Amino acid sequence: MEPRKLTRNQALVLETLTQAEAPLSAYTILDKLRDHGFRAPLQVYRALEKLTEFGIVHRLESLNAFVACTHPHDHGPEKGVIAFAICEDCGQVSEISDPEIEDRLALLATRRRFTTEKTTIEMRGHCGNCTAA
């Protein structure tokens, strides 16, 4: 699932997300890429699907939006649970990888005989910068 080489559309979508300072919706990405020939939502969604598979873009479920991965170390598609702290004011998103959370959720699932395929953890609130101000 490693990205051999990104296609043109994938690279454009990734670049747009990387330059953004907050999560972007698929339609916002589309608007930003109209000058580069994008015309239809599917062009964006198809690129996002691949980038998400590669693990270099994340979808934020509580926002219906997407961010480029800013994780310190690389992580593929199945390399553990990621928690997101999302600032409601400035849109800043920080990724948190924490084995304790992961282990605890795994235990809770096992106790209930639940087999987890995918875990979503999203904290909405206010980052330090926005609280100080």
Partner DNA sequence: ATCAATTGCGTTATGCTATAACGTGTGGCA
Partner DNA sequence: TGCCACACGTTATAGCATAACGCAATTGAT
> Residue 52 in 3-state DSSP?
helix
Work out whether 90 is an interface residue with Zn ion (CB under 5 A): yes
Window of 14-22, 31-39, 81-89, 123-131 that interacts with DNA by CB under 7 A: 31-39
Residue 100 CA to residue 41 CA, distance in Å, equals: 39
Do the Cβ atoms of 86 and 124 come closer than 8 Å?
Answer: yes
Contact 8, 50 (CB under 8 A): no
- When binding is defined by CB under 7 A, the residue of 20, 45, 122, 126 that contacts DNA is 45
Closest C-alpha among 20, 57, 37 to residue 9: 37
Is 47 a residue that touches DNA (CB under 7 A)? Answer: yes
Stretch that binds its own copies, among 7-15, 24-32, 68-76, 81-89 (CB under 8 A): 81-89
**Residue numbers at the binding site for DNA (CB under 7 A):** 7-10, 25-28, 37-43, 45-47, 50, 64-65
